[in-house]
C-alpha cells in the first residue's frame, strides 16, 4: 500500500502501483472524468504512471487554467498521429503548444492544402473517440536519436 498526500493535507491510501487516474477514481468517478493531468511532488506527471509512496499529488481538472496548455500539448500529438496515419511518409519535426493553440512542423510532398484540413480533423476526432491511452516515455538521448533516425 502507498500513502498519497492531497493538497488539503488529507492522506489517501492506495494499492501499490496506483496511478493518478486511480487516485481520481477513488475520490469520485466525476472527478476522474474531469481530470486531465496530475502534478506529483511539484512536477507534471503522466496520469497512468505509478505514484510513489508519500507523494504530494494535485489533480488538474479541465477547468483549471493550467489544463489548456496540457490539452493543447496532447492535441499536437494527436495531430501528428492523424497526419502520419493518413500520409505515412510524412516526416515530423516539433509540435508544441503555443499561447493561442498548437502546431506541428511537417515535411511532406506535396505540401498540405486547405482541402486536407477536414480529413485531418476527422482523423483527429477518430483518434480522440478511440480513447487511446497517452503515456509519457523518457528516453536517453541515444534512444531518441536512434528512433528519429529510423523514422527518417
Q: Which domains does the chain have, with CATH numbers?
A: 2-61 (3.10.20.30), 67-150 (3.30.980.10)
Q: Are 82 and 52 in contact (CB under 8 A)?
A: no
Q: Based on the number of CB atoms within 10 Å of its own CB, is 90 exposed (0-12), middle (13-18) or buried (19 or more)?
A: middle
CA-to-CA distance for 68 and 102, rounded, in angstroms? 11
Average pLDDT of the chain? 90
How do residues 133-145 score in pLDDT, each as one tens digit? Answer: 777 778 899 998 8
For residue 101, what pLDDT is reported?
Answer: 86
What secondary structure does DSSP assign to 127-152, as a single string?
HHHTT---------HHHHHHHHHHT-
For residue 2, what pLDDT is reported?
Answer: 94
Res. 32 pLDDT band, cuts 50 70 90: very high
For residue 127, what pLDDT is reported?
Answer: 95
Query: Over 80: is that where the pLDDT of 102 sits?
Result: yes
Mean per-residue pLDDT, 91-98: 81
Helix (H) or strand (E) holding 37: strand 35-40
For residue 23, what pLDDT is reported?
Answer: 94
Q: What is the strand order of the sheet 57-61 is part of?
A: 43-45, 35-40, 57-61
For residue 148, what pLDDT is reported?
Answer: 78
CA-to-CA distance for 96 and 101, rounded, in angstroms? 9
CA-to-CA distance for 45 and 22, rounded, in angstroms? 13
More confident site: 44 or 129 = 129
For residue 44, what pLDDT is reported?
Answer: 86
C-alpha cell at 70: 496540457
**143-to-12, 47, 77, 88, 103 alpha-carbon distances in Å:** 37, 23, 19, 22, 25
Amino acid at each position: 500500500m502507498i500513502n498519497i498526500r492531497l493538497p488539503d493535507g488529507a492522506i489517501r491510501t492506495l494499492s501499490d502501483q496506483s496511478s493518478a487516474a486511480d487516485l481520481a477514481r477513488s475520490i469520485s468517478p466525476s472527478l476522474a472524468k474531469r481530470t486531465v493531468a496530475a502534478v506529483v511532488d511539484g512536477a507534471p506527471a503522466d496520469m497512468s504512471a505509478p505514484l510513489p509512496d508519500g507523494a504530494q499529488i494535485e489533480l488538474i481538472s479541465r477547468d483549471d487554467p493550467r489544463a489548456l496548455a496540457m490539452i493543447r500539448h496532447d492535441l499536437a500529438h494527436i495531430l501528428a498521429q492523424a497526419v502520419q496515419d493518413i500520409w505515412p511518409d510524412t516526416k515530423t519535426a516539433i509540435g508544441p503548444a503555443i499561447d493561442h493553440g498548437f502546431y506541428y512542423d511537417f515535411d511532406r510532398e506535396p505540401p498540405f492544402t486547405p482541402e486536407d484540413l477536414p480529413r485531418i480533423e476527422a482523423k483527429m476526432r477518430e483518434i480522440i473517440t478511440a480513447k487511446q491511452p497517452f503515456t509519457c516515455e523518457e528516453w536517453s538521448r541515444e534512444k531518441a536519436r536512434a528512433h528519429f533516425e529510423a523514422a527518417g
